[in-house]
Amino acid sequence: MLFKPTAVPNASLYDFACVSWNYTLKDWTTYGCSKVNHSEDGLQCFCNHTTNFAVLMSFRRDFKYTEVFNWITILGCSMSIIGLSLTITFQMTTRKSRKTNPTVLLVSICVCLLIFTLLFMLGVDNPHKQLDKPEIQEDNVLPPSDTHTERDRGPCTAVAVLLQYFLLGTFTWNMLYATHVFLMIRNSLATSPSHFTGYTVAIGWGLPAVVVALTLGISYRVDDPLGYRQEEFCWLAALGPKGNFDFKLPMFWGFLIPVAFMLIFNMGMLVYFVVTTGKTNPHLTSTRHTSMKKKFLSSFSLAVVLGLSWILGYLLLITQNQTMYTILNISFCVLTSTQGLQIFILFTARTAIVKKKMSSALKSVSSVGIPLHTRKFSLWRGEHSDQVESYTQQDTDLSFPPCSSQTSN
């Protein structure tokens, strides 16, 4: 018998079984049937008895692997890695001289973002891609399901777990930084409240672990890893079999929902900061232009460290216009990939300590001695003349034009 396989969109035939209907068991059975051949013409079966026959087929989903990185992402992430490394080093080495700065909060943000960026650059691309067409098995065995999913293998799931943890950790520490700014402004404190550091460490590293553990426990199975992560690259599962965004998958409830609450909180703290700082110190001795510049830089610095550029990612999910989608996509890629560089510029390069060291370095360079053109003269009276003549004893080979001196009696 020759059977024509059903065409399933975006899927390839993984295996099939030649079966007959067993009226006693009221189920399909492979008893008395075997596979003969399979080709583009169809699936050929042989059975040694007469009854109702069929072919049970199992399909494997076809995945479209695309380039994860573009030049904007590579350049931005590379600069962010350098900027975050320098910021962490600066914060740790100058901690004693900056007693009022929230070193633990900023360093924790930078550490999470640095590890996430490194993992993203080095491990987000799935090393075990399903590029080959599936090979049909010779044994005539009933397939367990209409859809075949490869068992978990390789480090892709582990990378997805670490990416989820450290990115959630970044946003959690962003939220704690916003809380710290709020408490400092409301209570007019010069230092953090008592026990604040202990609470922040527990929440900053513990809350992301709880979310990741719940996500794994609910959605991950060894025989079906795609319930938790994607196959194309090592990140949380987001799209269903038809390519549409699936709200039941962990990308929505394991990442987008908790991050959305954190971004809303951070946005509220930024508005509170802008309004409060705009009302304070109405009689400044500096000019109005300088005052507004400082307020803008302070607000912009806070927006950067709170990760508010990720709001563009949510706008991408709801944008239908193609032109607007392209603009938002490029803006989101540039701002998020260079977040580490922005933190370095705003929180390290602009600090008084760095400016002082740069000024000292420039002064030391400008004060290097430069040899000048020198001449020595001696005067004598000639035997047959009363004229005083000049005589050069030393000259250097610099590019200054030579000068002569002559005086008369």
* Domain contains 51: yes
* Domain contains 378: no
Q: Residue 347 has what DSSP assignment?
A: I
pLDDT given for residue 372 in this prediction: 52
Residues 114 and 175 in one domain: yes
Rounded Cα distance, 38 and 40, in Å: 7
Query: Which of 311, 327, 357 is the last residue before a domain boundary?
Result: 357
| Residue 408 burial (CB count, 10 A) | 6
- Whether residue 77 contacts residue 117, with contact meaning beta carbons closer than 8 Å, is answered with yes
Q: pLDDT by residue (tens digit) across 133-156?
A: 777 888 888 888 887 777 888 899
Count how many domains the chain has: 2
Residues 96 and 28 in one domain: no
* Domain contains 395: no
pLDDT given for residue 355 in this prediction: 79
| Residue 229 burial (CB count, 10 A) | 28
pLDDT given for residue 233 in this prediction: 85
Residues 79 and 127 in one domain: yes
pLDDT given for residue 9 in this prediction: 79
Residues 148 and 223 in one domain: yes
Identify the domain containing residue 9 by its residue range.
Answer: 2-61
Residues 205 and 130 in one domain: yes
* Domain contains 363: no
Residue 308: what are its φ and ψ, rounded to 5°?
A: -75, -10
* Domain contains 374: no
Q: pLDDT by residue (tens digit) across 51-84?
A: 888 999 988 887 776 666 678 888 999 999 999 9
Looking only at the bridges linking them, the beta strands covering 147-148 and 53-61 are parallel
pLDDT given for residue 158 in this prediction: 93
Residues 57 and 196 in one domain: no
- Whether residue 330 contacts residue 71, with contact meaning beta carbons closer than 8 Å, is answered with no
Task: Tell me the CATH number at 207.
Answer: 1.20.1070.10
C-alpha distances out from residue 383 to 380, 386, 388, 389, Å: 10, 8, 11, 12
Alpha helices (H) along 148-195: 156-187
Query: Which of 335, 357, 379 is the last residue before a domain boundary?
Result: 357
* Domain contains 313: yes
* Domain contains 197: yes
Rounded Cα distance, 168 and 166, in Å: 5
Residues 93 and 154 in one domain: yes
pLDDT lower than 70: segments of the chain: 65-69, 98-102, 131-132, 189-192, 280-291, 365-409
Query: Which of 39, 61, 83 is the last residue before a domain boundary?
Result: 61
Residues 77 and 48 in one domain: no
Residues 114 and 48 in one domain: no
Residues 254 and 318 in one domain: yes
* Domain contains 41: yes
pLDDT given for residue 220 in this prediction: 93
Residues 138 and 7 in one domain: no
Residues 148 and 21 in one domain: no
